[in-house]
Structure 1
C-alpha cells in the first residue's frame, strides 16, 4: 500500500467540508486518525501487508526458502463471532503427530541437501512451515503468507510495491480439499506446490491447478486398481463409504464408473464427515446393518474411518470385509484405534514400501532444547511425554515438568511408528524435486550462479521436466498432469497372536503395464474378515451355471438377476452367461444345455427294423415275380399263357421285377446318384408296367371286337402295334425324366426343419414340376387302363382277364391316391417308407390280381387250362 503525505492546505479544506456537511463526531475522529498516520509516515513511504502477520510454526533462514503447509493439529476451538470486533486467530487443538512427522521429513531432506556437495553446492536452503490445522480457510491464509511474506518493504514514491515471491516452492498440503483451495489461490502466481498425499484425480486438471504437482499417484489409478481388485475376488455386490470431501467424492465417483464397466454393483454408497451429527452417522450404520453385502469399499480419510468403526463397535457389527485406500490401509494408528478388530482381514492399496536411510534416526533425535526458536517442538515434546515446560504458556501445576532430556526410544505411539515411511518418502522426493530444478536453473556444477533472478514460473517449468534417481535408486519424474507413475502394493491386515496387526504385502499393481498384467497377486495366504482363510462371497445372486443365462430382475441393479435355462437348441458354456448361443444347424443342445452335440442323422437304413422289413418285402416280391415268370415260361405253350399275348405277360413280369427292385433305391443314405435314380427308375418302370397292363387291356377289347361279324379290329392292334404302344408310352416318361434331370434333378438334402434334434437326410425333388409330371403321367395311364378294363370286365369269354386288370388297377389307384396325403404328412424317414410301401403295394396288387389266378389254374386246375375251356361262354357276373 502506497501512502502519500497530505499538505496543510488539505487539512483546512477537509475541516471546511466537515463543518459544512456536519459529519458525525465518530467519522471526524476516524478522519483525524488517518491524517495523523499520513503525517507520521510522510517522510518514509512503505509497502505493508494488510492484516495481522502470520508467524510460521517452523522456520530457518537460507539463501533460498522453501515453504511447507502441514496440519500439526487435528481440530480447533469453536468460537462465536459477534462481528463487533476483529476475529481472533484460529486456536488449534489436538496435536497431530502425523503432521509433525511430515514436517520432519521435509527438514531431513533440506538438511541432507544443505550437507551435500553435489546438489546445490554453496547454497543453503531455508524453510517456513505453517500449521494448516486441517482448516481449508487457514490453509489458504498461510499459503498467501508464504507468497507475500510479512516484511515491511520501503518503496519510492514513484514505484509500485513489487518484490520476488518469499518462497520458491511449497511442500504440502496433506489432503485433497485444502490442496484444491490453495492451488487455486497460488496457481496464478505459478508457485510450485508439491503434495505428498493429496490423491484426488481432479487435481490433475492443469487448467484449474497449473502449479500443482504431487509425489503420490492420482486416485484416477487407485480407483481403477480398487475396481480390478474387487473384480479379481469375484465381488460384484458391495457397499461403499466415502469421506464427504473432494478426496472421497471424486475417488468414489471414478471407482463407481469403472466398477459398472466391470459388472460390479453398489448396494449402497454413503458419505460421512467428521462433523456430521450423530443421527446421520446412525443412519449410515443402519444402512450397513441392513445390507446383504459383506464387502465394504472405502474412500475414507483416517478421521472418518475412526468415526465409523467406533460406531460399528458399539453395535457389535463385525464380519465385514473392508477394502481400503492408501489413506489408512498401511497406517498403524488406524490399527491401534481398531480395538475391537473390526478391520481385521482388510485388504487395500498402499504406496510401495520405502526405507530412507537416516530419516528414522533424524526423526527420533528431536530435542526441543536444540530448537528453542520453534515453539512447535515444545508443544510436540509436551504432548509426547504428557508434561509441561516451566516456561510454557499453558503450563499448570497438575502436570509433571518436562526436562527436555526424556528418552524417546522407549516411547510407543504414532510418532515413533514408522509405518508411514512411504509417505514420508513422498515429502522427501518433493523437496529433492525442487532442489534438482533449482540446481539446473542456477547452473550448478562445483558452484552455483547466485546472480540468477529466481522466478517461480521458471522453477515450475523445470520441476515438471526433472528426472532423477534418489539415493535409494527410485526414479522421480512427473507426467504432463504433474503426477508420478502409479504403482501400489496390495496390503492385507493379518492379526498376530499378540493382537498386533501385521501389514502383509500380497500383491502389486502397476498402471504402466498392459491392462491384463497390471494386477498381480503373490502366492501368499490371505486372511479375510473374522480371520477366515476363505474368500468372502459378495454377490447379489449366486452365479448362473453353464446351461443358463442371466435375466435381470425388474427394478434392481444389473448384478441382481435370475438364472433361466437356455431354450432347446441353445447353450451357454460359461458361468454367468448373458445370452445363450444357438447351436449350428447340424448340432443340438444336450440335456444340460452346456454343449452342442451333433444331431442324429435320420434316414431309412437297412439296419433298422422298418428298413429291413421293407427290403424283405421287396425281395419277396421280386422272388414271387421270378417264380411266376418261371411258371409262365414252363407252361408257355398252354392256352392260358398264350391267350393274352405271352410277350406282354413276360414284359409285365419283367417290369414288376424292376418295380420291386427300384424300391430298394429308396433305402440307405441318400447320395447324388441314388436321389436321381430312385425317382426316375420308379417313374420309368411303373410306366412300363402300366403300359403293359394297358396293352393287355386293349388286347382284350380288340379280341372281343374281332369276334363280331365283319370286324377286322385285330389287324390294327396286332403284336407289333402292342409292342410299339408299350415302347411309345414308356418313351414319353423317359423324355419327362431326362428333362427333369437336365433342368433341376433331385439331390441329397439335409432337412433341419422337420425335427429340432434330428437331421433328416432326404432327397430334395429339385424340380417339383418334374416330380409331379412323372407321377401325373403314371396316374393318367393308370386311370386310362382302369377305365378300359372296367368297360371290358363283363365280356362273356373265359378268355377275358379284364376283370382281374380292373381289380389290379383299382388297388393301384387306391394306393397312390392315399399315398399323396400320407406322403405329405409323414415325418422324416416315414415319408420314404410310405413311398416304398406304395410301390410295393401297387406292385403286389398287379402281380396278385393279374398272375396269381392264372398260376392257380396252371398248377391246381390244369383241366381248365384247355383251349375249349378258354373259348367257352360263361354267364357274366357283375362286380
Structure 2
C-alpha cells in the first residue's frame, strides 16, 4: 500500500482488502468516525450516523472495536497528525453474535414474551481521547456527545456491552457507573474490574483465567522446555500475568531467555518495533510466549512479522488473534503455534445464521455494508450506500477467506452471546417477580429502569444453548478451561486451527494437561519436537553447577563427588551414600558394601598367621633346647628360670597375634588387647629381671653384702609379678571405664565395611603401651650400663640390642598405626608384635643357640677357664 503525508491520495494492492482511511488534522470528527478505505469512497459513508440502531422495546448498547488507528508518529492523539484508520473485519463477528442472540431471544416464546430486544451499536476506539465519546452519544440519544443530557422520550436503554480490554471497560465503566447502568464486559476476566467499590455496576461474563499461567508452564514442562522468551503487553493485565507466570516458572525451574514488554499504544506506521524482532530472532530460545490482545498489541509491533521467518515455536492465547490478519501474514513465522483458547460450547445455529447474513437483510447496518463493499469489490451510489451494485450474485460471508473473516465463533463473540442472554434472563426474572407482585405498569411504557436489573444480574445463573454455565457473581466464578490449538498454515493460506489437547485446573495435577502430540505440526525448521533449553540435561552421575550471573537454567554438569550419586537427570545435589552402601564408578547407583576384616584366607592375613606360627614353633624348639641343655654353663648363666619364663612369654606373644586375625567379636576384641598387654609385660619385665641379675652378679662380689643376699635370694625375679600386676590393674581400669567393643568402618575402603575392634578409650590403650615402654626403657638403660661387664656368658650386650630393637619397633608403630585405616591397622599391630617378639628372641637367644649347636666347646667349664685365662693375659 502507498500513503502520502498530504492526504492527497491513497492506494492499496488488490489482494489486501482491508478497510483503511487516511485522515489529516483538518478532517472533521464525523469523518474520523466513518469507515473508508480510500479517499475516493462515496460521500454517503461520510454522512452516515456513527451508530447502528435496531428498534426494540428495550435496547442493549454495544461497544465493539471495529476500527483502530495507525498513526505515523506513534502518538496517542490522532487529531494532531496524519493517521490511518483500519476497519477490523475480524471484529465484526461481535456484531453478528449480538444480532444472532437478540433474534434468537425475540423468537423464543418462553423468554421475554411480548417484549422485543433491540440494540444500539457503536465503535469503540482504543484511544483515551475517543473511548468515552460514543458512550456519551449513546446516553444523550443524539448524534453529538452532550454529557448529562438525553432527548430519549422513553427509558429504553437497559444495559451495555463494553470492552475487549481492561482499559476500555474501565473508562466506559467509570462513566456509566454514574447512572447505575449495568455493564457487561465481554473481554478477558480481570480482577481489577471486580472491585465493587469502583465498578459496582460492572459484570464480567468470562470465567476466571488465573490458571492460564499454570497451563502454559505445564505445557513447557511437558515438552521439557525450560528456556523460553517472553513477549508481554505493557499494560496492567500484562504485568499481572507476568507476575503469575514468573511465579509458576520459578516453581518449576523454567527460565526466561529474554523479556520484551511491548508498549500498548495506537498503531504506528513508523513505530520502532524492529528492535523487538531483532532481539527475538537473535535469541537462543526456540520457544516464545506471546501475551496480549490483538487490538492493542499485534497491529502495533507484530504486523511486520509476515516478512520474517523466525523459526521459533510460539505459545499464545486466542486473544492475540494473529490468524485473522492479512493474507500472507505468518505464512512461515507462526506455523505450528500453540494457542490457549477458552473452551466454549458449539452454538448449532450460528453457522446457519452467518450464511443468511446479507446487507439487504440488515440495511441499517452500514458496518455490514462496508464489509461487503471492501470484500466483494462492490460499488455504491453517491447518495445511498445501502444500495450495493455489481456484487457477485452468490456473495456470502461463508466465501470470505479466514484472514478476512473467521466463520468459527471466537471467545469474544461467545461472551457477547452469553452477555445478551444474561440480560434477557435477568429481565425475565424481574418481570416475573412483578407479575407475582401484581405490579402495575406506568403509562409511559414498561417502566423498567437499568438500575433495577442489578439484583437479578448478581444472582443470575443458567446454562446457555451449548450447555455451558453462565455466572456473573464474582464469588461463584469458576476457572476457565482451555483448549490447546495448533495453527496450521501450510499450504499457503491454509490457516486451520486444530485442537490438539486441553487444560483443566479442576482435576488432579497429573491429569490437568492432555495432549495428542502426533497431531501437532511444528514450526518451520523443526522436523521433530523442538528443544528449548539453555543447558543440556545433566545425566545421572552428574549434578548441576550454577554459574554466577546467569539464569538458573544455564548451568554446568559436574560429576558427583566420591561416595555420592545422582540417579536422575538434572539433579541439583548429589545424594550421599548410606554407611552400608557405596557409589559405583558411574556415580549413578548404590551398591551394597561387603563386610570384610583381616581374614585367615587373605594373602596378608595368611602370611602373618604363618609367620606367627613359625616363630612360636621356633621359640618352643629353643625352649626345648634350653631344657635339654639346662645343666650347661650357658643355660645356667643369668638365671635359667628367667630364660624359661622369657621363652614361654615370647611363645605366647607370637600366638596372641593370632587373635587379631579373623572375624572379631566382643570376647576376642577384649582378649586381643588384654592378652597383648599382659604377655608383653611379662616378657619385658623378664628382660628387666635378667638385666638386673647381670648387674647384681658382676657389681656385687663381696661376700656378706646385702646386695649379694638379694641376688642369692632371687629378688630380681619379683620384678615380673609386680610389673604384671600393675599392667593388669591398668587393663582392669580400661575395661571398667571404657571397654573395647565391635565397630564397623564404612569409609576406609570403598565398597567394604570393615569389622574391627574399637579400643573404646585411646588413653587407656596408650597407658598400656606406656607401661610397656617404661619397662623397655628401664631394661635398655640398665643393660646399656652393664654392656661392658667381663664374662664369657655375659648377655648384657644382647639385652641392650634386644631392647633397642623392641623400642624401635614400637616407636615406629605409633605413626604408622595412626596413618592407616581398616584392616591394615590390625596388620600393622600384628607386624609390630611379631617384629618386637622376634627381636627379643633373636638378640637374646640366637647367640646362645649358636654356642650350643655350633661351638659346643665354649659351653664347658674347661672352655670357660681357657677363655677367662686368655682374656686375663690380654688385659695384662
TM bucket normalised to smaller: 0.7 to 0.9
Match of 1:230 in 2: 220
Match of 2:174 in 1: 184
Match of 2:14 in 1: none
Match of 2:521 in 1: 527
The range that moved more, 368-377 or 612-621, is 368-377
Match of 2:304 in 1: 311
Match of 2:471 in 1: 477
Cα drift, residue 138 of structure 1: 3.9
Cα drift, residue 735 of structure 1: 1.0
- Within the alignment, does 1:283 sit opposite 2:275 as a pair? yes
d(CA) in 1 for partners of 2:600 and 2:639?
38
The range that moved more, 620-629 or 424-433, is 424-433
Match of 2:132 in 1: 140
Match of 2:430 in 1: 441
In structure 2, stretches of 5+ residues that fail to align are 1-47, 145-149, 442-446
Of residues 82, 85, 99, the one that matches 2:91 is 99
CA separation of 1:771/1:416 partners in 2, compared to 1, >3 Å: closer, same or farther? closer
Q: Does the residue aligned with 1:57 lie in a helix, a strand or coil?
A: strand
d(CA) in 2 for partners of 1:647 and 1:91?
128
The range that moved more, 125-134 or 562-571, is 562-571
CA separation of 1:193/1:223 partners in 2, compared to 1, >3 Å: closer, same or farther? farther
Tell me, yes or no, if the aligned pair for 2:291 and 2:320 is still in contact at 8 Å.
Answer: no
Q: Does the residue aligned with 1:442 lie in a helix, a strand or coil?
A: helix
The range that moved more, 240-249 or 342-351, is 240-249
Tell me, yes or no, if the aligned pair for 1:464 and 1:482 is still in contact at 8 Å.
Answer: no
CA separation of 1:778/1:635 partners in 2, compared to 1, >3 Å: closer, same or farther? same
Residue pairs, 1:308-387, within 5 angstroms: 310-314=303-307, 316-328=308-320, 332-334=323-325, 336-338=327-329, 340-387=331-378
Match of 1:295 in 2: 287
Cα drift, residue 188 of structure 1: 4.5
Of residues 176, 189, 193, the one that matches 1:203 is 193
Cα drift, residue 344 of structure 1: 0.8
CA separation of 1:692/1:406 partners in 2, compared to 1, >3 Å: closer, same or farther? closer
Match of 1:431 in 2: 420
Match of 1:694 in 2: 688
d(CA) in 2 for partners of 1:748 and 1:480?
71
Q: Does the residue aligned with 2:211 lie in a helix, a strand or coil?
A: helix
CA separation of 1:859/1:212 partners in 2, compared to 1, >3 Å: closer, same or farther? same
CA separation of 1:516/1:212 partners in 2, compared to 1, >3 Å: closer, same or farther? farther
The range that moved more, 818-827 or 175-184, is 818-827
Match of 1:623 in 2: 617
Tell me, yes or no, if the aligned pair for 1:69 and 1:132 is still in contact at 8 Å.
Answer: yes
d(CA) in 2 for partners of 1:252 and 1:799?
102
Match of 1:663 in 2: 657
Tell me, yes or no, if the aligned pair for 1:74 and 1:95 is still in contact at 8 Å.
Answer: yes
Match of 1:539 in 2: 533
Of residues 106, 109, 116, the one that matches 1:117 is 109
Cα drift, residue 179 of structure 1: 1.6
Match of 1:612 in 2: 606
TM-score (ref. length: structure 2): 0.81
CA separation of 1:313/1:121 partners in 2, compared to 1, >3 Å: closer, same or farther? closer
TM-score (ref. length: structure 1): 0.81
Tell me, yes or no, if the aligned pair for 2:59 and 2:157 is still in contact at 8 Å.
Answer: yes
d(CA) in 1 for partners of 2:228 and 2:530?
11
The range that moved more, 647-656 or 634-643, is 634-643
CA separation of 1:296/1:788 partners in 2, compared to 1, >3 Å: closer, same or farther? closer
Match of 2:121 in 1: 129
- Within the alignment, does 1:61 sit opposite 2:51 as a pair? no
Tell me, yes or no, if the aligned pair for 2:72 and 2:270 is still in contact at 8 Å.
Answer: no
Tell me, yes or no, if the aligned pair for 2:227 and 2:257 is still in contact at 8 Å.
Answer: yes
Residue pairs, 1:403-414, within 5 angstroms: 407-408=395-396, 411-414=399-402
Tell me, yes or no, if the aligned pair for 1:351 and 1:423 is still in contact at 8 Å.
Answer: no
CA RMSD between the two structures? 4.2
Q: Does the residue aligned with 2:462 lie in a helix, a strand or coil?
A: strand
d(CA) in 2 for partners of 1:682 and 1:758?
28
d(CA) in 1 for partners of 2:394 and 2:800?
134
Q: 1:745-787, CA deviations, whole angstroms, 9 ceiling, x for partnerless residues?
A: 2334456787899877654433233222212221222233333
In structure 1, stretches of 5+ residues that fail to align are 1-52, 153-159
d(CA) in 2 for partners of 1:576 and 1:428?
49
d(CA) in 1 for partners of 2:700 and 2:332?
124
The range that moved more, 790-799 or 847-856, is 790-799
CA separation of 1:416/1:842 partners in 2, compared to 1, >3 Å: closer, same or farther? closer
Q: 1:25-77, CA deviations, whole angstroms, 9 ceiling, x for partnerless residues?
A: xxxxxxxxxxxxxxxxxxxxxxxxxxxx9864132221x33222223434599
The range that moved more, 208-217 or 107-116, is 208-217
Cα drift, residue 514 of structure 1: 4.1
CA separation of 1:725/1:91 partners in 2, compared to 1, >3 Å: closer, same or farther? closer
CA separation of 1:809/1:378 partners in 2, compared to 1, >3 Å: closer, same or farther? closer
Cα drift, residue 325 of structure 1: 0.8
Residue pairs, 1:444-843, within 5 angstroms: 451=440, 454=448, 456-457=450-451, 459-478=453-472, 480=474, 484-496=478-490, 500-522=494-516, 524-530=518-524, 532-584=526-578, 590-595=584-589, 604-668=598-662, 671-704=665-698, 708-711=702-705, 716-717=710-711, 724-750=718-744, 762-826=756-820, 829-843=823-837
d(CA) in 2 for partners of 1:519 and 1:114?
40
Q: Does the residue aligned with 1:539 lie in a helix, a strand or coil?
A: coil
